[in-house]
Amino acid sequence: MNAPNGQDRLFGRLLALAFALTLAFGVLIAHYYDRLGSSPAQVATGTGTSGGDGTSGNQQSPGDGAGGTAAATPGQNPTSVATSTTTKTGGTTTGKVPTGTTRGVSKGSIKVGGIFSITGPFDASPARDSTRAYFQLINSEGGVNGRTLEYISYDDAFDPTQGQNAARKLIEQDKVFAIVGWLAPNSEPAASQYFAKVGLPVVGGLAVPQEFGPRNFFATMANLGKAGAAVARFPCDAKVKKPAVGIVDLPFADQMMAAVRKGLAQCGVTDPILTKIASTSADYTQYILEWRSKGADSIGAALDPMGFVKLMQALDRQSWHPPTWLVGSADSERNAMVKNALEGAFSVESQLVATLHTDLPGPRRYVETMHKYYPGTTIASTAQISWTAAQVFVEGLRRAGPDPTWQKVIEAIETLRDFKTDLTAPLTYTATDHDAIKCIELLQWKNGAWTDYYPDFQCWEYTSDGGTVVRPSRPFT
């Protein structure tokens, strides 16, 4: 073997230096985006020069707020009428709504935007198609107050940087009136802060913690930071002692883990096994082996769509079938890939799984519309939240009247009381509570298909101490 010569050593050192610089640059970028995600004021880097009151006709850059005033920081009063605050007080929503911005609204149409993870490990194309299908349905019926809905969407490729770029493009270039039905797990935390600063109506999303609090956000999925506590009720009912809970390693994983821990503590389970799971891992066997060695008696999981498949495959390989609780896993195609392994497993859904209830008019309308406009699209429970988001937005738009503004639409949605959607329990939004999804459907996989474990929705209420109380049932529709 030849000893390395000077050229080799120099080459090696240069490579090492390049790697060190790359790592340092990566850390700086990560730090920068972390700041974007934690401070709305930091998001305001736009250089637009218009603005002021944010009224119709002004193509206000999100960066300038109102006359260049920065958004309020958490805990402070808003300093600008063109922005929403991000003050969070428990589950309530606070802050002023923006004034009459109408950008994206023309005589015949309204531009609406969305960001979806299409390429990459998470496929949100069914959610995008669900939003589009609802808008196409509405357009075919004449639109809303004489205007059709024009939907513009971008793929973030499961990348927060691309998500940020898409968010800015929708606001600064496309000048959309609202964000509706979006589903981009890795981008939503930071992009939400940006949209909160801009102040336009945002309906739907994955209900990450950042989407609760700003006045312009309306969730159509159970609050991930809190639903864990409600979801934990069902394992508690099953008298589990040592559950192992795997949560996909996304920006909201910590909040969800805290909620699950809190919920389990309510029934005396104080030492659960909580694990963050890497969606990029090819094999989940190592998690299964670890959980089993630690004496887990049941499994809970909130994972990306393919993660459910890998988890069930790994459980099946080890011939280990403890009681298993999944969150939002109903998906016809992927469920079919592990249909034997799923036997007996439970799934908690914040929407009525449409394919199971085509006897009801709402789910039937969803399924038929999807088949009409997007026949190849998978009907998945995660996509349904986007349909509901589109439905809530259209109702708000309708109530806002012939001259919609951000303010009018936001305030109109806040007037919804027991609003009947196609796929959820009736929804109520108020000026202080935009956390409308408080009911879940519990399914069990039996003989190769999901079946209703309870005949009705299971709904909960948040208690003053941040806990939850689950009421036994509420009729579907």
Partner 1 sequence: MHADLILPLTIVGIVTGSMYALGAMGIVVIYKTTRVLNFAHGAIGMISAFLAYQLGYLWSMNVGIAALSAIAFSALLGFSIERFTIRPLEGKAPLIKVVVTLGWLLIITSFAGIKWGASAYHVPIKLVPEGTVGLPGVHISYADLATLAVAGVLTAALATFFRLTRLGVAMRAVADDVSSARILGIRVDRVNSTAWILGSVLAAITGILLSPKVALDTYSLTLLVIFSFAAALYGGLVSLPKAFAAAMVLGVVQSVSSGFLHLAGLADLIALAVIIFALVQPGSALMRAVAKEGA
Residue numbers at the binding site for partner 1 (CB under 8 A): 1-5, 7-9, 11-13, 15-16, 19, 118-123, 125, 249, 275-278, 280-283, 285-286, 289-290, 293-294, 305-306, 309, 313, 317-319, 333-334, 336-337, 378
Least Å distance, CB 234 to partner 1, is 25
Cα Rg of the chain, angstroms: 23
296 or 412: CB nearest partner 1: 296
Q: State the sign of the Cα–Cα–Cα–Cα dihedral 428, 431, 437, 438.
A: negative
Specify whether the CB–CB gap between 334 and 305 falls below 8 A: yes
Is residue 218 helix, strand or coil?
Answer: strand
211 or 304: CB nearest partner 1: 304
281 or 473: CB nearest partner 1: 281
235 or 305: CB nearest partner 1: 305
Q: Which amino acid is at 243?
A: P
284 or 450: CB nearest partner 1: 284
Least Å distance, CB 317 to partner 1, is 5
38 or 378: CB nearest partner 1: 378
117 or 391: CB nearest partner 1: 117
Q: Which of 337, 340, 328, 316 is CA-nearest to residue 448?
A: 340
Least Å distance, CB 250 to partner 1, is 10
Least Å distance, CB 282 to partner 1, is 5
Least Å distance, CB 245 to partner 1, is 13
CA distance 460 to 348: 13
CA distance 419 to 428: 6
Least Å distance, CB 7 to partner 1, is 7
Output the 3-class SS for 459-470.
EEEECCCCCEEE
Q: State the sign of the Cα–Cα–Cα–Cα dihedral 405, 408, 411, 413.
A: negative
- What proportions of the chain, in percent to the nearest 5, are helix, strand and coil? 40, 20, 45
Neighbours of 440 (CB within 10 A): 28
2 or 47: CB nearest partner 1: 2
Least Å distance, CB 340 to partner 1, is 8
Specify whether the CB–CB gap between 90 and 434 falls below 8 A: no
Q: Which of 22, 248, 206, 29 is CA-nearest to residue 116?
A: 206
CA distance 346 to 344: 7
Least Å distance, CB 27 to partner 1, is 14
